[in-house]
Structure 1
Amino acid sequence: MGRKNKAYAKDLHQQAYEKLVSMQAFGESKRAAVADGTAKYKIFSFNTYQDYWKHTKYFIEYIKENYPECTTLKAAKRHMNEWLQSRVAQGLSAWTIQLEAKALGKLYGIGPEDEGYFVPPKRRREDITRSRGDRVRDKHFSEANNDELIKFCKGTGLRRGELSELRGGDLMSRKQITQELARLSAVPMDERTPQQARRLAVLKDTELFQEEYFVLVRNGKGGRERLSPVVGKNTSQIIERMKNTPRGERVWQHVHQSADIHAYRAVYATNIYKAHARKIEDIPYDRVSKKTNRRYQSQVYACRKDEAGKKLDKAAMLVCSKALGHNRIDVVANNYIRGL
């Protein structure tokens, strides 16, 4: 006779896979899910799903090797924090540990506010090694042979996946944007579809910039669409490549795996920040502290930790954040703006 409960016939790998797949909510509103309390049971981005599944498999392998008697996710749960602590002992970065804690938190439906949630090491800017100094992979990457790719990256700020998916026809001029903006704005608010409303917001973001050309990112981080301005001294070369690529074909057939895309994005971000930043002393003291009764600059961002003492213009940081496809200015300060 067969098992009455077929669930137990599935190994841990299959149980975890089915659990994460059942949580896929690509394209759904995360804000709405947070509001109704269902966000912890959903995964809103395909890239996030891939990351969570990748690290969940590492956990499953650990359980199979060390606790073969654990044949269900429920039984394996008690070893979750033990595994995460072992990852800390291995010397993995705080960023990786944070990701793995979130992956298992999603798998088991628990969050930082819940009792027993693993508290990962704090992430410190000085511990970042990505895109700093020479790496072994650099020996396999010729800057001379990839000169056009590097210039393109520094002028558009696209992520690796965004570069790979960029197509001919994904270039918009200021004139095209203005025309589409006028057309969508003419549609009464109560008659606009959700797609039209999102598109209108993307188009309006371009008003933050002075540039004449933008690359259309159709599926950025979190599935968000954006228009990133083409900036820098190589603008003409970038526009020419975009225009010469037949509509629908990839602009870049191959993006070298050793290309330091994050470093190029940092150059892009820093240049945009510099172009829009005011002198800190010129930013008005527009608020009064309730505690000290002293006036302060609400539009000035004070960096912390190893960057303590450095101040940035929040308005310029927002412009930079929009260009990169982020929604938080602190991400720009901590990961992209350099050499100021």
Structure 2
Amino acid sequence: MEVTVGRRNKAYYKDLHQQAYDKLVGMQAFGESKRAAVAAGTDKEKIFSFNTYKSYWKHTKYFIQYIKEHHPECTTLKSARKYVNEWLQARADQGLSAWTIQLEAKTMGKLYGISPDDENYFKPPKRNREDIKRSRGDRVRDRHFSKTNNDELIKFCKGTGLRRSELAELRGKDLVTRAQIEAEISSLESRPTAELTPADVKRLGMLQDARMFQGEYFTHVRNGKGGRERLSPIIGPNAAQIIQRIQETPGEEKVWQHVHQSADIHGYRAEYATAIYKAHARAIQDIPYDRINRGTGRRYQSQVYTCRKDEAGRKLDKAAMLVCSKALGHNRISVVADNYIRGL
């Protein structure tokens, strides 16, 4: 009788690369509600955005390479876990930015289920505004980017605030007027609430958000960060030129066939954000003291945001920050204060 000897545990024979890949792929939950997962307590086991998945996978591979070079005896993810903090410290010692180290700490937290409040969670260096390497003065890449030759692109970015990926996917059909927005809102609001699907309700909310913006023309971002859809106002002195370019682009064609890799997209978004904030912001002294602190009994301005860290003490109008946040495609106003609003 012939006896076939097989592997008792096939998973054990997968190398670290394959084990990590399978782990992250198994956590993919694209399109699912993160809010519902948080409520159910299952969010730590899921990755809700494809871009987030790509980022986690990229930095996980750096970790795996480190393990292979420095601890080749580790052949399983479980055995490699004890070297997570060693790797993160090595990355910090290399001089990588605090932003990168925090991202890599989050990556390891997701891969191994380590919560930020866990005593073994790596404590990365603090992230300060002055440490951000992007969009801070002249950089080497700027030498390869002609502002003269790319003048229209720069003006377009400053007037729309689109991310690089959003700019690359913008098509001629993605120009929307305020009249079109109001017509669709009226159509949706005229239907019985019970007939509206969850998708209808979500779209109605997006359309209604556009009412907080000034201007008559908007870009329709169909797939922004985290898969979020939004309408962003076209603003500034070059709005007419921007609108014309989109109008003259056939519906299914891309408005920009090529976006220069050295274009400072984040910097242009920051200028867009600052312009929107200034257009909507009230003078801080004009914002009413509308709440009373239960502890001290003192009145305070609930609509005033006080910055922290390197911008500690600076005060901003929360209502204007919300408008700015919606236009950029972010959910938290603190992101706007920490990363975009400048020179006030």
The TM-score, its normalising length taken from structure 1, stands at 0.98
Q: 1:267-318: per-residue Cα shift (whole Å, max 9, x none)?
A: 0000000000111111111111122221111111112232233211111011
Question: CA separation in 1, counterparts of 2:113 and 2:187?
Answer: 44
1:194 is matched with which residue: 198, 210, 215? 198
C-alpha displacement at 1:67, in angstroms?
A: 0.9
SS at match of 1:169: helix
User: Is 1:183 matched with 2:187?
Assistant: yes
Q: How many residues align?
A: 340
User: Which runs of no fewer than 5 residues in structure 1 stay unpaired?
Assistant: none
Give the counterpart of 2:237 among 233, 238, 244: 233
Task: Note the C-alpha offset of 1:10.
Answer: 1.0
Are 1:157 and 2:161 an aligned pair?
yes
Q: Pick one of 266, 272, 278 that aligns with 2:270.
A: 266
| Code of the aligned partner of 1:137 | R
Corresponding residue number in structure 2 for 1:108: 112
Please give the secondary structure, in 1, of the residue aligned with 2:86.
helix
Cα distance in 1 between the residues matched to 2:98 and 2:215? 38
Which amino acid is 1:209 matched to?
F
Q: How does 1:1-340 map to 2 (within 5 A)?
A: 1-340=5-344
Q: CA deviation at 1:115?
A: 3.7
Give me the whole-angstrom Cα distance separating, in 1, the residues matched to 2:195 and 2:44: 32
Which consecutive residues of structure 2, in runs of 5 or more, have no partner in the other structure? none
Say what the alpha-carbon RMSD is for the aligned residues. Answer: 1.0
How far, CA to CA, are the matches of 2:91 and 2:80 in structure 1? 16
The secondary structure found in structure 1 opposite 2:120 is coil
Q: Give the drift of 1:51.
A: 0.3
Amino acid aligned to 1:216: H
DSSP 3-state at the match of 2:173: coil
Cα deviation 1:100-154 (Å, max 9, x = unaligned):
0111111112211234121211111222221011000000000111111100100
- Offset at 1:42? 0.5
Q: Which amino acid aligns with 1:58?
A: Y
Tell me how far apart the structure 2 counterparts of residues 194 and 79 of structure 1 sit (CA, whole Å): 45
- Give the Å deviation of 1:81: 1.0
- Identical aligned residues as a percent: 74
